[in-house]
Structure 1
Amino acid sequence: MMKKILHISKYYYPFSGGTEQIARDCVNALKDEYEQKVIAFNDGKEDVNDYVDGIEVIRCGCFAKISAQSLSISYKKRLHNVIKTFKPDIVIFHYPNPFVAHFILKELKNNDIKFILYWHLDIVRQKLLRVFFKSQNRKLLKRADKVIATSPNYIEGSEWLQLVKEKCVVVPNCINEERMKINRKIQKRAEEVRCENNGKTICVAVGRHTEYKGFAYLIKASKLLDDNFKIYITGKGELTSELKREAADDSKVVFTGRIDDDELKAYLVACDIFCFPSITKNEAFGVALAEAMYYGKPSVTFNIPGSGVNYVCLDGDTGIEVENRNYIQYAKTLIRLSEDKELKEKYGKKAKQRVEEEFLFATFKKNINYLIEELK
């Protein structure tokens, strides 16, 4: 009989987010061999059941958020019911999600359900939560049969994963090749962006405008560049207004706002250098970084101890890594890549090769299925 897997994610597609995309990739990687269900929060107050990619998704209404943690009145009952009726052989839990972790630990107590803890990142920003949930983290790690980490760097840099190194398995995140395809319309738009900049070095940065993304340091670096550069920053966030004020006297910096996938791909195709200035371990991997590398773009990153960013993009091979928050060095590195066309092309070629060898869906699927097989 086909084994059953219950996936527990904070939110789920069509909700947009890195963890949510990885959860969906995980489901799709296993759908040929296993019967599956997903339980997650709904981005609204109502309980909803629907289907994504042919898999039932149970969405629990959310009445509030505290320190980025969603809260739900119905979650405990709905989780209990799905475990009781679906009877999963395996539970895959995407961490962090401390509100849900409390109920999972109760449901998995004194039974033989296999438990995979998908450790996306340590709780870093919420210092109070980090202290409060120490005991819960220890219980989760003890109960886990296997712990998935997205890079070897994160295992070495996490105080929690160091406690269970023997349980940890590295499964790097992946990018969706289908979503990355370029059509004539996208290519035409990319050519327009190049023409608009008339031979300038085009830099692109992607992400939500929040502190750990480090866009403030990219803007400081831009002020040290001449007018032969153009820097596009996509997205929005709580720091958008502040970032725009900081860049108000710098015509080189352009904020695109939120853009659709086709427009984003056009900018990535058009750019010369991809800027990824994240500064803390909240940036655990960097899927956007891998996507730019897929298009053969060299990247400039900061060194982030314990983060997978510097595992995705290798210093001196697929891009250049500079001292964390050192915007002067960041600016000098952009100038170096702009002036050394041969080096830029060499890094770009190696970047594409690294993604094709390590970070595509086929490799991710193989890794996840192997892990499940080993768990039997």
Structure 2
Amino acid sequence: MKKILHISKYYYPFSGGTEQIARDTVLALKGEYEQKVIAFNDGKEDKVDIVDGIEVTKCGCFTKIAAQSLSSSYGRHLHKVMREFNPDVVVFHYPNPFVAALLLKELKKSKAKLVVYWHLDIVRQKYLKLLFEPQNKELLNRADKVIATSQNYIEGSKWLQSAKSKCVVVPNCINVERMTVTPDIEKRAAEIRKENKDKTICMAVGRHTEYKGFTYLVQASKLLSDEFHIYITGKGELTEKLHEEAKGDSKITVTGRIEDTELKALLLACDIFCFPSITKNEAFGLALAEGMYFEKPAVTFTIPGSGVNYVCLNGENGIEVPNRDVDAYAKALTKLADDPEMCKQMGVNAKKRVVDNFLNDQFMENVRVAIAKVM
């Protein structure tokens, strides 16, 4: 049986879009290949977990610099797994520049094929972006195949353009089993609607970081009537700032990190899904697809080169407005609230788009085909 080593920044049960896709990739290939995973631990100690029957080595992280985890033990563990496991293929989830340097060194002594799963360009850290240019060139030159999440991202990324002949599109997809609604969730959703009687309920999901654009959603809220209620879930380095910006605005509730049951209840109860990401750091928008699966029209910003505007089509599944245009965002929310029939139809279209294009069965088949072509 052929062997595959997966390298992700973090791994399940750590919650994040990249981590979810990394796990789904492993599950797509389970049974056909022998697999192992190496990632960072979100604590300081090294440990080995068994996740879905797969061995996962998690290397302790002693600090982070510009959101990049650093580990004193990673090089040793990577060297060991490359030597002893001797994979036929390495699937490397990018960006992860610290590990990329270690991996490129190991690959010079290995015949393993390299699949680079390109989730997004390094955009925000302009100095790091320049620093890692030589590394990116070497990584893409060494790659046998590059997986991108959308054609939009290939066309908008100078790096993927440079490796276009190696690129294959595997759209991120949602796992329908994770979206299952139970009677308890339906009951909680009814309670949320009752708590917000006669209001338009909006919801946003994601880590509180700059590129998610939540600050623009909070600013847009100030332009809305009191007939709206906006829930912003999650947490992050900007959580405190969001609370401060939303101070005095009763239309905003910053929930923090919530249980899966409450998350799905909010998705079920809300009328509009808000996805205010502003840069190509948002390469696809898995949370966006999940919101659309619940038949919610979305309001997004235009992000050139991102897959966001590929997932949600303007005028069909939601409304797209100019980037960072707070006034236009508020008007889009009001337009949907004032036209329940349009809101409902866009929601129906939203679910159809996800079902037709972004379900897990299709993702798994796309991954299997992409890996088979490398073997």
TM-score by length of 1: 0.98
The alpha carbon displacement at 1:332 in A equals 0.8
Residue-by-residue CA offset, 1:150-179 (whole Å, 9 max, x unaligned): 111111111111101111111111111111
The alpha carbon displacement at 1:58 in A equals 1.0
Q: Percent identity?
A: 68
**1:172 equivalent in structure 2:** 171
**1:32 equivalent in structure 2:** 31
**1:57 equivalent in structure 2:** 56
Structure 2: distance between partners of 1:328 and 1:61 = 45
Structure 2: distance between partners of 1:359 and 1:50 = 29
Structure 2: distance between partners of 1:238 and 1:37 = 32
Provide the secondary structure at the position in 2 that maps to 1:175.
coil
The alpha carbon displacement at 1:61 in A equals 1.7
Structure 2: distance between partners of 1:66 and 1:111 = 29
Provide the secondary structure at the position in 2 that maps to 1:324.
coil
Residue correspondence of structure 1 range 141-152 to structure 2 within 5 A: 141-152=140-151
The letter of the residue matching 1:251 is S
Structure 2: distance between partners of 1:29 and 1:255 = 35
Structure 2: distance between partners of 1:108 and 1:23 = 20
Provide the secondary structure at the position in 2 that maps to 1:333.
helix
The alpha carbon displacement at 1:47 in A equals 1.6
The alpha carbon displacement at 1:140 in A equals 0.2
| Runs of 4+ off more than 2 Å | none
**2:188 equivalent in structure 1:** 189
The alpha carbon displacement at 1:274 in A equals 0.5
Structure 2: distance between partners of 1:237 and 1:69 = 15
Structure 1: distance between partners of 2:343 and 2:334 = 11
Q: 1:244 to 1:310 in 2, by over 3 A?
A: same
219-228 or 144-153, which moves further after superposition? 219-228
**1:107 equivalent in structure 2:** 106
Task: State yes or no: 1:364 paired with 2:363.
Answer: yes
Structure 1: distance between partners of 2:189 and 2:173 = 24
290-299 or 9-18, which moves further after superposition? 9-18
The letter of the residue matching 1:94 is H
The letter of the residue matching 1:31 is K
Task: State yes or no: 1:6 paired with 2:2.
Answer: no
Structure 2: distance between partners of 1:214 and 1:252 = 18
Task: State yes or no: 1:290 paired with 2:258.
Answer: no
Residue correspondence of structure 1 range 93-104 to structure 2 within 5 A: 93-104=92-103
Structure 1: distance between partners of 2:103 and 2:216 = 40
The alpha carbon displacement at 1:333 in A equals 0.7
Structure 2: distance between partners of 1:369 and 1:119 = 17
39-48 or 349-358, which moves further after superposition? 39-48
The letter of the residue matching 2:156 is G
Residue correspondence of structure 1 range 1-376 to structure 2 within 5 A: 2-109=1-108, 111-376=110-375
Provide the secondary structure at the position in 2 that maps to 1:178.
helix
Q: 1:332 to 1:97 in 2, by over 3 A?
A: same
The letter of the residue matching 2:166 is K
Structure 2: distance between partners of 1:209 and 1:62 = 21
Provide the secondary structure at the position in 2 that maps to 1:160.
helix
Structure 2: distance between partners of 1:134 and 1:239 = 28
Cα RMSD for the two superposed structures:
1.0
The letter of the residue matching 1:341 is P
Structure 2: distance between partners of 1:255 and 1:72 = 33
The alpha carbon displacement at 1:110 in A equals 5.3
The letter of the residue matching 1:67 is A
Residue-by-residue CA offset, 1:220-249 (whole Å, 9 max, x unaligned): 111111111111111222222222222222
The letter of the residue matching 2:126 is K
TM-score by length of 2: 0.98
Provide the secondary structure at the position in 2 that maps to 1:179.
helix
Aligned residues: 375
Structure 2: distance between partners of 1:84 and 1:245 = 51
- Gaps of at least 5 residues in structure 2 are none
